[in-house]
Amino acid sequence: MSKLTLLQIVQKVLSSLSSDEVSSAFETAESTQIVDIVEDVFNNLVTNKIIKTHESLIQLAALGDTDHPNYLKLTDPTVKISELRYNVTTEVGELEYREITWLEPSEFLARSSGLDSTADNVRIIQDFGGASYLIKDDEFPRFFTSFDNTYIVFDSFNSDEDSTMQASKSLAIAQKIPTFTRSDSFVPNIEETLFPLLLNEVKSWAHLELRQNAHQKAEQQARSQRVSYQRFRDRVKEEDTRPDYGRR
């Protein structure tokens, strides 16, 4: 199956429901309901990692805020970080990227609680939500977390080198999460081989929600396609066991 626009998907689903044809996906109440189902199915496939995300190298944004010297920021809400590194060399013009390890917020705070707040190399940081925690200010970071999926929080920063974390020293592998656009001409940004799965899942849900009866054939095909695609991905790429952080 070739790629389909949102309108073409809606038209095919309406046909399977034996409903009237439309020239716009938003022409009737029923066709608009199907758009809602397409969006739900699309987002479900993204959430469950069926739809492949698109990776690229990015730098995080600097705050330049001395009250939050250990913070960088995600600027794109449709991005999540799968790997993060920071340049820890003290030599001008050289690169030595250290991989920074993700910690769940509770683990991050547990490590922070083990620091001595009276030590000369320890600072009290107040998060944007008002809560305070401890970091070191005499070494490059080794761990990071996020309390809100927007700000990236590090366990330390090197005040001998910089007054705050620097965007130019960050390097991240970012996964661009495909987004859904409610437009007739919108073509879901997924692999061509996934369109049969998307279409059959939408047909299945549309019959169930709009007709209160199951579309057995669509359900069977969707189930088979989902399993087949998962097996194919498992053969060509190891399962990603890294935590999701960034957008959720």
Domain segments of the chain: what residues? 6-50+181-243, 54-176
pLDDT, tens only, 163-218: 999 999 999 998 877 889 999 999 998 888 889 889 999 999 999 899 876 666 55
Indicate the pTM of the whole model: 0.66
> Residue 21: is its pLDDT beyond 90?
yes
pLDDT, tens only, 72-107: 999 887 678 889 999 999 998 899 999 999 999 999
Which residues have C-beta within 8 Å of that of residue 195, sequence separation ≥ 6? 1, 2, 3, 4, 188
pLDDT, tens only, 126-136: 999 999 999 99
Mean pLDDT (the chain) is 86
**Helix 195-211 to helix 216-236 angle, to the nearest 10 degrees?**
150
pLDDT score at 242: 46
pLDDT score at 226: 58
pLDDT, tens only, 221-247: 556 555 555 543 433 344 444 445 554
The mean pLDDT of 138-156, rounded to a whole number, is 95
Give percent of the chain above pLDDT 70.
82
pLDDT score at 237: 40
Distance, C-alpha 106 to centroid of its chain: 21
The mean pLDDT of 20-31, rounded to a whole number, is 97
The mean pLDDT of 141-145, rounded to a whole number, is 97
Distance CA 199, CA 36 (A): 13
Show the tokens assigned to 57.
Answer: 């190298």
pLDDT score at 190: 82
Asked if residue 180 lies in contact with residue 188, where contact means CB atoms within 8 angstroms, the answer is yes
Asked if residue 82 lies in contact with residue 242, where contact means CB atoms within 8 angstroms, the answer is yes
Distance, C-alpha 240 to centroid of its chain: 13
Distance CA 4, CA 188 (A): 8
pLDDT score at 43: 87
Which residues have C-beta within 8 Å of that of residue 160, sequence separation ≥ 6? 138
197 vs 205, 224, 225, CA distance in Å?
Answer: 12, 9, 6
Which residues have C-beta within 8 Å of that of residue 62, sequence separation ≥ 6? 72, 73, 164, 165, 166, 167, 168
CA angle 24, 26, 30 (to 5 degrees): 110
Sequence letter at residue 215: H
Question: What SS3 state is found at 14?
Answer: helix
